[in-house]
Amino acid sequence: MPTLLGSRDAEWLENEYLQARANSIELIETLEPEDCVIQTIPEVSPTKWHLAHVTWFFERFCLMEHDDSYRPFNEDYLFLFNSYYHSVGKMHLRSARGLLSRPLLSEVLAYRNHVDSAMRAFIDQHHADPAVSFKVVLGVHHEQQHQELLLTDIKHVFFSNPLAPQFQTQSPNYKPVEVAHEFIDHSGGEAEVGAQETGFCFDNETPRHRVLLNDYALGNRLVTNAEYREFMGAGGYRDSQLWLADGWAHINEQNWNRPMYWSEETDREFTLHGWQPIEPTNPVTHISLYEADAFARWAGARLPSEQEWETAAAGVTVTGNTLDQRRFHPSAPQSSSRHGLLQLWGDVWEWTASPYAPYPRFKTLAGSLGEYNGKFMANQTVVRGGSCASWASHLRASYRSFFYPHDRWQFLGLRMAKDVP
């Protein structure tokens, strides 16, 4: 069961809430209202919808469930901005979110301000209740998830526009370092994985349990654009023996022959800074599980299990190219002086070989919040480590995210693994 042990100080809880809410508004500063209503593919939601949905979450699960005097800002919003919580009512069709010109962005922002005002009073009154504290912190982490989705979704929206708009006109300066790829051995044996009994976690990270691992090796860094281009040049997309059956069918049906945002000439890629030359030392990104798996096979390696990844990452400080740096794109390491694993945090979500499934003795949250994770535990694959669109405070070794094997619109890449004889 995910926990936030004990109650929380009202000032701390309010600061966490207000910071998350302010971050969402900061992220849309370069956008115009017209940008915020577009939905290009079913997986992408309009920016306006993200801003309203995270607000709906606080209104529905905090204010409406714990404050009898609270009345919804707009009854229609309970339907429009529900995502997949069937236990609390019906919802607007996901694939049709981009058909909604109303409510206006200005009305969504007014909705946010209304709920923020109510939440400040609510936190002041109810912060001593551990159940309330947990819901507020869950809502903060939920908003952080949608801030990441907001960025990846607007990237696809701008990519789909022939004018190729820029979310940010210039990326912060940094000095990438070319790091030779090598495998680092890790001892197997019995290990514990899953969330510790302190702080916040999602229910899918629990319960902590023992696993048995063979000796294994992980790549010291992420696979780069240059290495992926070698795979392409060697005919990787034409060799059926490298591909899982579903992957081979999918790339042929979709005519895939390169990562999602690469130009046909494979010399440029679309980024949140617009079209940019492909930097050879940057991590390859926007590839599916099928592509990551085929590359690893071609390279004589494999994808790591999520247990291998977590065991290697345990105790490693969360630092790297995360949203905190505002680069908005995966980058090469800035230093090669460190020994051991680089780029564990940020840059790209790392595909694993592990299906998204419940841990032994897993139990969902009680009530409607039990729909948050558990019902998606089929037909998806675990990714680890966060991306350049994830906040560092949102990440930890036990954190599991998940996508369908064909998904590519997120910042998705890979780190290779090998068995150790």
Please name which of 122, 143, 141 lies closest in space to residue 63, comparing C-alpha atoms: 122
pLDDT band at 367 (very low <50, low <70, confident <90, very high): confident
What are the residue ranges spanned by the domains of the chain? Answer: 10-159, 183-419
Q: Is 401 left (phi over 0), alpha (psi -120 to 50) or beta?
A: beta
What is the structure's pLDDT at 340? 87
Residue 226, both tokens: 């240059």
pLDDT of residue 339: 61
Is residue 338 predicted with pLDDT exceeding 80?
A: no
Binned at pLDDT 50, 70 and 90, residue 374 comes out as: confident
| Angle, CA of 416, 418 and 421, to the nearest 5° | 170
- Identify the architecture of domain 183-419 in CATH: Alpha-Beta Complex (3.90)
Q: What is the distance between the alpha carbons of residues 104 and 36, in angstroms, rounded to a whole number?
A: 10
Does residue 6 surpass a pLDDT of 70? no
Is CATH 1.20.1260 correct for 10-159? no
In the Cβ-directed half-sphere of 241, how many Cα atoms lie within 13 Å? 3
How big, in percent rounded to 5, are the helix, strand and coil portions of the chain? Answer: 40, 10, 50
* pLDDT, tens only, 64-78: 999 999 999 999 999
Helices (H), 28-103: 47-58, 64-66, 75-80
Q: Which region holds residue 60: left if phi is over 0, alpha if psi is between -120 and 50, else beta?
A: alpha
Please determine whether the domains at 10-159 and 183-419 fall in the same fold group of CATH: no
Tell whether the model's pLDDT for residue 2 goes beyond 60. Answer: no
Cα–Cα distance measured from residue 23 to residue 53, given in angstroms and rounded to the nearest whole number: 15
Which pLDDT belongs to residue 337?
59
52 in Cβ contact with 107 (< 8 Å):
no
Q: Which two tokens stand for residue 58?
A: 């606080």
Mean per-residue pLDDT, 258-278: 97
List alpha helices for 127-193, DSSP H. 130-159
φ, ψ of residue 350 to 5 degrees: the values are -100, 120
CA distance 9 to 299: 52
Please tell me the distance from the alpha carbon of residue 75 to that of residue 367, in angstroms, as a whole number. Answer: 22
Complete edge-to-edge strand list for the sheet that includes strand 412-413? 401-403, 381-384, 349-355, 412-413
402 contacts 382 by C-beta, under 8 angstroms: yes
The predicted-structure confidence for 241-255, as pLDDT tens digits, reads as follows 999 999 999 999 999
- By mean pLDDT, which of 127-131, 367-371, 376-380 is the weakest? 367-371
Q: How confident is the model at residue 116 (pLDDT cuts 50, 70, 90)?
A: very high
Do residues 413 and 292 make contact, with C-beta atoms less than 8 angstroms apart? yes
Angle between helix 105-126 and 10-27 (nearest 10): 170
